């Protein structure tokens, strides 16, 4: 689940920014929820205007859905419609951070794009009425923010997150900027609040997606790297689950690849409204 203020993938936001340099990001908000359970797959990302949102220090309301801090946990209530067939997506989940972090680092040379995990390790309780799903498991919660569209600074990036022994979480950000400069982050977040830098292993090429996006992953060798499942295969973005090696451990990595030129192409911008409808 991703909550957007100024939806970074929104074609409506991109079109508004082309017309004016002063665009209110709160006029382009959305909740993206992807459900991958066999037989219950749903995907929703309806964009809403500033007239349908409100937010303060603890609450963020987007149309009928909301995110709210309740003491020791974040509660998310979802009431959306999936695309393309309009099925209901309704229910709630609760995220209980094991440790909150106040950490942020830049992803680009200019410091205009920043990322940081709020709860790199958390417990989640999911209870949905439509589709009917109920489960508990491990979760991860982070935040990205920027002062300009990502299309200005970036060419592409690969991101991955893996759970390590001892309750630790490792994140790798492998960023290629348009100016040719690469930025590589390797960080381990400890359950006691410590943050440790590490040197990620060499870059390995993964098989291209159905849309011919080149995925890459930091791993000691090509032989020990395996795609377990591709969850999202779109013209500009891929989300995958990998079996890989990291810091001497065999891990399951959650992996994402973003191809920025593909995102900004006229063909993709034309297709996006079918996937991301907008209402007031």
In angstroms, the CA 261 to CA 45 distance is: 22
For the chain, give the percent of residues with pLDDT over 70.
100
| Helix or strand holding residue 175 (H, E) | strand 169-177
Q: Specify whether 37 is located in the same domain as 74.
A: yes
Do 76 and 57 lie in one domain? The reply is yes
- Shared domain check, 17 and 143: yes
Give buried/exposed letters for 28-45 (b at 16+ CB in 10 A, else e). Answer: bbbbbbebeeeeeebbbb
Shared-domain flag, residues 9 and 139? yes
CATH of the domain at 19: 2.40.370
Residues 126 and 181 in one domain: no
Asked whether the predicted pLDDT for residue 201 surpasses 90, the reply is yes
Q: What is the mean pLDDT of residues 35-61?
A: 96
Same domain for 209 and 71: no
Angle, alpha carbons 203-112-153 (nearest 5°): 55
User: Residue 280: pLDDT band by 50, 70, 90 thresholds?
Assistant: confident
DSSP 274: H
Looking at the structure, do residues 228 and 170 belong to the same domain, yes or no?
A: yes
CB of 9 closer than 8 Å to CB of 272: yes
Domain endpoint, select from 107, 125, 148: 148
Q: Among residues 130, 148, 166, which one ends one of the domains?
A: 148
The answer to whether residue 261 is domain-embedded is yes
Is 56 a domain residue? yes
pLDDT tens by residue, 243-271: 999 999 999 999 999 999 999 999 999 99
The tens digit of pLDDT for each residue in 70-98 reads 999 999 999 999 999 999 999 999 999 99
Q: Are 76 and 50 found together in one domain?
A: yes
DSSP 236-271: SEEEEEEEEEETTEEEEEEEEEEEHHHHHSHHHHHH
Mark whether 211 and 178 lie in a shared domain: yes
Residue 48 belongs to some domain of the structure: yes
Mean pLDDT of 193-199: 98
Tokens of 12: 């409506």
pLDDT of residue 21: 80
* 280 lies in some domain: no
Q: Is the CA virtual torsion 44, 48, 53, 57 positive or negative? A: positive
> Are residues 184 and 252 both part of a single domain?
yes
What domain count does the chain have? 2
Q: Give the range of the structural domain holding residue 192, as residue numbers without chain letter.
A: 150-275
Query: Residues 6 or more apart from 3 whose CB is under 8 A from it?
Result: 29, 30, 31, 32, 60, 62, 67
Mean per-residue pLDDT, 103-128: 97
Whether the bond between 84 and the residue before it is cis, its omega within 30 degrees of 0, is yes
Q: How does pLDDT run across 128-139, given as a tens digit for each residue?
A: 999 999 999 999
* Residue 136 in domain: yes
Q: What pLDDT sits at residue 161? A: 98
In a domain, 167, yes or no: yes
Any domain includes 166: yes
Within a domain: residue 14? yes
**Tens digits of residue pLDDT in 137-191:** 999 999 999 999 999 999 999 999 999 999 999 999 999 999 999 999 999 999 9
Q: Indicate whether 48 and 75 sit together in one domain.
A: yes
- Percentage of the chain modeled with pLDDT above 90: 98
Average pLDDT score, the chain: 97
Confidence label for 277 from pLDDT (cuts 50, 70 and 90): very high
- State mean pLDDT over 116-121: 97
User: Does residue 171 sit in the same domain as residue 92?
Assistant: no
């Amino acid at each position: 689940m991703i909550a957007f203020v100024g939806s970074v993938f929104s074609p409506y936001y991109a079109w508004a920014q082309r017309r004016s340099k002063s665009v209110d990001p709160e006029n382009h908000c959305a909740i993206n929820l992807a459900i991958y359970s066999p037989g219950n797959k749903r995907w929703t990302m309806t964009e809403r205007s500033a007239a349908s949102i409100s937010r303060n220090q603890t609450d963020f309301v987007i149309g009928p859905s909301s995110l709210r801090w309740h003491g020791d946990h974040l509660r998310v209530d979802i009431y959306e419609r999936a695309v393309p067939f309009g099925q209901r997506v309704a229910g709630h989940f609760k995220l209980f951070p094991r440790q909150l972090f106040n950490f942020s680092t830049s992803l680009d040379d200019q410091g205009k794009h920043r990322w940081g995990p709020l709860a790199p390790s958390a417990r989640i309780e999911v209870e949905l009425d439509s589709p009917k799903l109920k489960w508990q498991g491990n979760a991860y919660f982070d935040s990205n923010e920027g002062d300009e569209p990502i299309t200005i600074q970036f060419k592409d990036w690969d991101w991955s997150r893996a759970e390590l022994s001892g309750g630790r979480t490792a994140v790798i950000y492998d960023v290629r900027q348009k100016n040719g400069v690469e930025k590589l982050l390797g960080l381990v977040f400890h359950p006691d609040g410590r943050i440790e830098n590490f040197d990620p292993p060499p870059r390995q090429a993964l098989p291209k997606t159905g849309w011919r996006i080149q995925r890459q992953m930091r791993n000691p060798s090509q032989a020990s790297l395996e795609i377990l499942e591709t969850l999202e295969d779109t013209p500009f973005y891929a989300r995958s689950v990998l079996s890989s090696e990291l810091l001497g451990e065999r891990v399951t990595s959650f992996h994402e690849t973003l191809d920025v030129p593909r995102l900004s192409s006229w063909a993709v911008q034309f297709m996006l409204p079918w996937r991301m409808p907008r209402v007031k």
